[in-house]
Structure 1
Amino acid sequence: MYLVAVVGIVTILAVIKVECSLHQPMYFFLCMLAVIELVLSTSTMTKLLAIFWFGAHNIDLDACLTQMFFIHCFATVESGIFLAMTFDHYVAIYDPLCHTLVLTHAAVGLLGLAALLRGVLYIGPLPLMIRLRLPLYRTQIIAHSYCEHVAIVTLACGDTTVNNLHGMGIGFLVLILDSLAITASYVMIFRVVTGLATPEARLKTLGTCSSHICAILVFYLPIALSSLTHRFGHHVPPHIHILLANFYLLIPPILNPVVYAVHTKQI
């Protein structure tokens, strides 16, 4: 699965770099998405393979917190890129003539940088709070194949209220607000599409959004299921928790290159 993900991501990046006609905002955002998914899958799969192949079940606390930062930070950045891509689709459909004027290369770069800075700002305090506030643990066994914030915090002996509130706040800001903003944008997009003159124009316009909608669902549904089972699924068997947590880091990097390659005629 890791090799399939890497091959798909590298292929997408290579095709967009070589083909000059793809040097457009939508494909620049797709490149950012590909790099993020490469980081997410690499930060987890390398350790996962070491566990299976070499029995390397131990991980240093600092390495664990570093892995946790990369996972949650780049998942947050990915959500921001999806939001930026939705804005790109809206501008392209609502006012095609102004699309290149609004979303210049500099504007695309600034949106990508804003998504990255938001991820660092949201997630940066998490490993610091664990390192400084939770020095003692009931057990050193993490019921996961990687270092996930909730899985680590539940092991701590001290008061974890601040950690839990911060984690839930990030979940609300990223999952809820981003998904609501994306939904609102697509409501406006569909209103514009329904106003187009011919059915052919409507289908063609909706076709340009289909790959993006599929990618959003592939990203948000597994992460939402994993978060909900962690918070409220106390009776869910541990192996289901682990399986869902792996899904949201493994499935999007594999499916997204396929989705974009199949649905995007230019690629």
Structure 2
Amino acid sequence: MSRSLESPTVTEHGVEDRDGVLVRDITYAGSAGEPVRAFLVEPAGTGRHPAVLYLHWFEPRNPTSSRLEFLDEAVARARQGAVALLPDLTFPWSVDVVGDRRDVEHVLAQAARLRVGLDLLTTRAEVGKVAVVGHDYGGMYALLLASTDRDRVSAVVAMNVDATFGNWFATFFLRLSGDATIAYEKLFEPVDPIRLVAARGGVPVLFQFAEPDFYVPDSTRRALVSLAEQPKDYRLYPDAGHQLDDTARADREAWLAAHLDG
């Protein structure tokens, strides 16, 4: 999907030097001019760099349910020469799920804000290939971007994602059942990961799932992975929990290096 790209307006609130890696605390203007708080992580040195857009999970009352989740990982990638952007996500983190078509509009608005994050990265002269890494709801948005922005996304990592947006909303937020669940979930069909994984235009994907996972049953992950077009990698992590573990992180970092570096 082509669009005219402009670098968004960025305000810097502070910067931390982590042994040569710069972690900038920034706000950038979203798709409707709204402020998006983020970390921008920059490596030392000049030249061409790959970049990663990191999208965090939803875990209420956990400080890592924010741009903090992937910060250490982003710093480690920066030591290998990558730029990273880590925005705070808002739906459903700070915007209420209401149970009607407005929820779909909120998903689309969140995706639009993330596309501005891609603008911020891809309009930088030093940025080359861009990957999107997402966990939980963040992973579902990552798959959405890999479909809508496959001309700009070179690789995507989806960690413990559901196959549809509406399922978790209906089950854990709204407590719907029966026909009400079916009608509500149907609203999300155009943006559901299970419909988008086959529309990536060749963008490589790494699926990472815990086994077992209370939030993502075996049947859901198998259906999602089976419908995903190639190229794809699928890895399971026994007893890693929905948060996943250090083994998953090491696999993810190696996979990103193979698809972005060089």
Band the TM-score falls in, shorter-chain normalisation: under 0.3
For normalisation by structure 1, the TM-score amounts to 0.27
TM-score after normalising by structure 2: 0.27
Larger relative helix fraction: 1
Higher relative contact order, structure no. (Cα contacts within 8 Å, ≥ 6 residues apart) = 1
